[in-house]
Every structure is written in structure tokens, then in C-alpha cells.
């Protein structure tokens, strides 16, 4: 029976290695290929976001660096690997005014909830100074 036990252990080990490959290694390799393709496609005029969250416009592409311009007009160089994503321009269908106050966007719910919360914050007992409450309790 020891031979059957060894076969079971080997099969279990192969299953574990296969699971690690398909759950960890392969997705990471695909992500690296996707990042490399994105970095290779960078060109002047594209808007990017860096891994630090800075949005910038590519001014010049060098072999391992990019010269970028940020909103205030400053230019600086960054490593190509510091690019997190290419920012897609907003489509014409999405004009970005979901929160315009027409009562249909999510922002309308937030504004209504905020207004209700502020009106409930002002309780009659809170309108009087703290000392007045103490005096009323003593009387």
C-alpha cells in the first residue's frame, strides 16, 4: 500500500502546483503583457495617469522616459513604467452631468440626504446655550 500512498501524494502535489500556476502565475504574466503593450503604445498627445495618481499629457516619448505636462503647465520627465493607465477621452454620450441637479443622478440623492441631515441637526434643545440648559435643570 505504500506505493499507492506515494502516487496520491504526487497527484496532490501536481494539483497544488497547477492551481498556483492558473490562479497566481498566469494572471500575473497576462497583466505584465498588457502593461508592456500599453507602455509600447504611448505616444505624444495622449493623456495618462501615473501610478502616483498624477494626470498628465505626454509631450515627448523617449526610449525609457516620457516628458509630460501637468495641468499648471509644468513639464517633467517620468519613467515609462510609472504610467498606470491611458486616460480615455470622455465620449459625447456621457456629458458628465449626472449630478447636475435634475433629480435623476446619484448626486441628487446625496444632496437631498445632506439637506435633510442638516435640517435634523438643529434640534430645539441645541439652539439654547449650554449654560441655559443647566439653569433650566436647576429650576
List the pLDDT tens digit at each of the 139 positions of the chain. 467 789 999 999 999 999 999 999 999 999 999 999 999 999 999 999 999 999 999 999 999 999 999 999 899 999 999 999 999 877 665 555 555 444 444 444 444 444 444 444 444 444 455 555 555 555 5
pLDDT at 137 (0 to 100): 54
- How many angstroms separate the CA atoms of 101 and 86, rounded? 30
User: So what's the pLDDT on residue 131?
Assistant: 55
Question: What's the pTM?
Answer: 0.52
What DSSP string runs through 33-58?
HHHHHHHHT--TT-EEEETTS-EEEE
Q: What is the pLDDT of residue 82?
A: 92
50, β-bridge pairs: 83
Residue 8 region by backbone torsions, left for phi larger than 0, else alpha for psi between -120 and 50, else beta: alpha
Look-up of cell digits 434643545: 125
pLDDT at 43: 92
pLDDT at 123: 47
Nearest to 83 by CA among 50, 46, 53, 39: 50
Query: What is the reported pLDDT for 134?
Result: 53
Amino acid at each position: 500500500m505504500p506505493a499507492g500512498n506515494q502516487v496520491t501524494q504526487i497527484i496532490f502535489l501536481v494539483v497544488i502546483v497547477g492551481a498556483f500556476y492558473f490562479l497566481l502565475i498566469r494572471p500575473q504574466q497576462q497583466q505584465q503583457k498588457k502593461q508592456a503593450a500599453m507602455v509600447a503604445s504611448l505616444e505624444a498627445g495622449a493623456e495618462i495617469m501615473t501610478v502616483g495618481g498624477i494626470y498628465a499629457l505626454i509631450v515627448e516619448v523617449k526610449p525609457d522616459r516620457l516628458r509630460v505636462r501637468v495641468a499648471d503647465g509644468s513639464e517633467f520627465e517620468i519613467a515609462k513604467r510609472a504610467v498606470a493607465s491611458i486616460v480615455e477621452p470622455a465620449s459625447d454620450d456621457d456629458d458628465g452631468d449626472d449630478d447636475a441637479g435634475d433629480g435623476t443622478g446619484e448626486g441628487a440623492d446625496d444632496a437631498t440626504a445632506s439637506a435633510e441631515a442638516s435640517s435634523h441637526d438643529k434640534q430645539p434643545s441645541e439652539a439654547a446655550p449650554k449654560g441655559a440648559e443647566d439653569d433650566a435643570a436647576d429650576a
